Amino acid sequence: MEAKHVLAGLLMLVVALSSVSFALSQGGNADLGSLSAGKSFLYTFTAEGQFKLFKSHVKSLSDQVTYKITLTTNLKLTIIIADCCVMGDTIALYYPINAIVAASATSPVIIDVIYSLSAGTYTFYVGYTAVPGGFPAEFFVWFIATHG
């Protein structure tokens, strides 16, 4: 009977580790939890052709989600941001600091920008400037690395 319990425990451990391993391989981002201005995500691009999709939300106009992106080589980074669900909300990409609007769009229009960047770490912020549909407001952000 004891061998069955050991086997069952090992099986549960293998399933749990496989799930964690799969989750890390599918994203590799670290959710740092809630900050005063929304959430923060980390992601590293090591080669062209890599991409990452984030689905995020904010609860007020003062909230922003922070994306800290590290490039290990010179790359072009395409950033696409799309408001989710309610048309007419205005979303903004803030870069290089969270007070400068680099691009904005009112849905159904999306933000689509390309930056040629050297190896290093860059911080981008996404939030809303107008949300007539009310909060919470959800959006999608794609980061796509191509040859720099």
User: Is residue 88 assigned to a domain?
Assistant: yes
Q: Enumerate residue ranges in the chain where pLDDT < 70.
A: 1-38
Domain total in the chain = 1
Specify the pLDDT at position 17. 32
Count CB atoms within 10 A of the CB of residue 85. Answer: 10
Specify the pLDDT at position 6. 35
User: Is residue 35 assigned to a domain?
Assistant: yes
CB neighbour class for 79 (10 Å; exposed up to 12, middle 13-18, buried from 19):
buried
Specify the pLDDT at position 33. 35
User: Is residue 65 assigned to a domain?
Assistant: yes
User: Model-level pTM?
Assistant: 0.74
User: Is residue 96 assigned to a domain?
Assistant: yes
User: Is residue 22 assigned to a domain?
Assistant: no
Ramachandran assignment for 44, one of left (phi > 0), alpha (psi -120 to 50 degrees), beta (any other): beta
Residue 118: CATH number of its domain: 2.60.120.380
Domain of 70? 30-147
Specify the pLDDT at position 22. 34
User: Is residue 69 assigned to a domain?
Assistant: yes
User: Is residue 11 assigned to a domain?
Assistant: no
